[in-house]
Chain A
Amino acid sequence: MPAELRLMIPKESDEIDDRQLVRTIRGGDAEAFEQLVRRKTSKVYSLCYRIIGNAEDAKDISQLVFIKLWENIEKYDPAYAFDTWLYRMVTNVAIDFMRNKQSRDNAVNSNLRLVKTSTDAEQGVVVQRKEIESVFNAVSSVLSPKQKTIFVMSEMDDLRSSEIARILGCRESTVRNHLFNARKLMQQQLKKRFPEYSRLWEEKQ
C-alpha cells in the first residue's frame, strides 16, 4: 500500500473509533478526550516537531492544539476524516507560531555562518543521516511557514498533494507550487551553506 494511504487514511476501524470517541467527548466525557489525546499525541507532535524544528516549542504547540481541539470539538463534522480535521488544526496553530517566531528570528538566521567550506565540497559526498535533520532545519529557515508545512507534509509525512490541499483548504496546484518553490529555495540555501550536499542536485541536473 502506498505510504500516503497508510499514514493519512486511517483504517476503517480506527476511523470509526475516532468518531465514536468524538461523540462521547461531545457528551462531556473528559476521559474519552484523554484517550483521544493519547492516541493522537505522536502524530500531532511529530508534525509539529518537523515544522517547528524544536522539541520544546513543538511540545507547547501540540498541547495548544489539543486544548483547541477540546474547545472546538463541537465543530468537527463526522462526514470528514477526523485526522484531516486534526491536521488542519495542527497546521493552523503551527503556521501561526512560525509566523510570529520568524519575525523575531529573521535577524538571527540571516547571520548563520556556512557550515562547510567550498574545499569540503570538493570532497566526495557521504550522506550522514544524523546530519540531515540539522541541515534541513538550517536551510528550511528561509521557507515561509506555509511552504515549510507543505514540504514537511509531502516529503516527511508522505501525504499526497490532494490530501494536503484538503487539510490546508487550498487548491492542489497551490500545494504543488509551494512544493516547487520550497525545493528551489532550499537548493539555493544548500548551495550557499552546505555546498557539499548541493552537489547532489547539481550532479543530477
Chain B
Amino acid sequence: MIQCETFRANVQSRDADVLEHLRKCDACLDYAVSVDPDNFFRAIGGEELVPPGGIDAFASDVMSQIRVRQAEAPGARRFLVAPRRLAAAAAIIVAIGGGWLGYERATQTVAPPVIQAVHKQPLATKPVVETYQSQNATIVEMPSQGGSDANVVMIFDDSLPADL
C-alpha cells in the first residue's frame, strides 16, 4: 500500500493504488472525503467478499443444485435450446411456404372462367286439349273473366301422362 503522503498528493486520481489506500487507511479517509465527497461511497468498494459459509460450501451448494436439476430433467440443458430451434425451424418453413404460395399466386395465369354448358330442354309444343272424356277424372273449370280471357280448365286424372 502506498504511503499516506503519496496518497494525499494523488487523492483525486482513480488509480488502483490510490483507491486501495482510500479503502484501507482510516487516517486518510476524512481528508479524502473533504477533498472529494464522492470518496465517501468510493471507500466501500475494492475488496472481494466471500459468501457466508465460504467458497467451498458455496460451490458445492451450486453443484448440488445443478445435479438436482439435471436429475429432475435429464437432458434439460440440451432441450432448453431445442424449443427455440424448433420455433426457428417452424418460422423458416412458414416463411418459405408462404413465400412460395404468394409467388405461385402471383405468377399463375388466370384461367378463363369455366362456362358450364347448360343443356336446356328443347321447348316442346304440347297438344292443346280441346275435348277430354274420362270416367275417373276430376275436371275443374276456372271461372272466366269474360271477353278475351282464356278459359282455364284443370283436369285431375291418374291415367294422364306426367308431362302433359
Contacts and interface: CB of A to CB of B under 8 A. Distances in A.
Interface of A is mostly: helix
A70 interface: yes
A189 B40 CA distance: 14
Nearest to A201: B37
B33 A37 contact: no
B113 interface: no
B150 interface: no
A84 to B, nearest CB: 18
Interface string A59-101: 1001100110011001000000000000000000000000000
A200 B40 contact: yes
A135 to B, nearest CB: 8
A180 to B, nearest CB: 12
A126 B31 CA distance: 10
A59 B57 CA distance: 11
Interface string B28-43: 0110011011101111
A1 B50 CA distance: 25
A59 B52 contact: yes
Nearest to B47: A46
Interface of B: 14-16, 19, 26, 29-30, 33-34, 36-38, 40-53, 55-56, 58-59, 61-63, 65-66, 69, 76-77, 80-81
Interface of A: 1-4, 6-7, 30, 33-34, 37-38, 41-43, 45-46, 49-50, 55-56, 58-59, 62-63, 66-67, 70-71, 74, 125-127, 129, 132-133, 136, 151-152, 155-158, 183, 186, 197, 200-201, 203-204
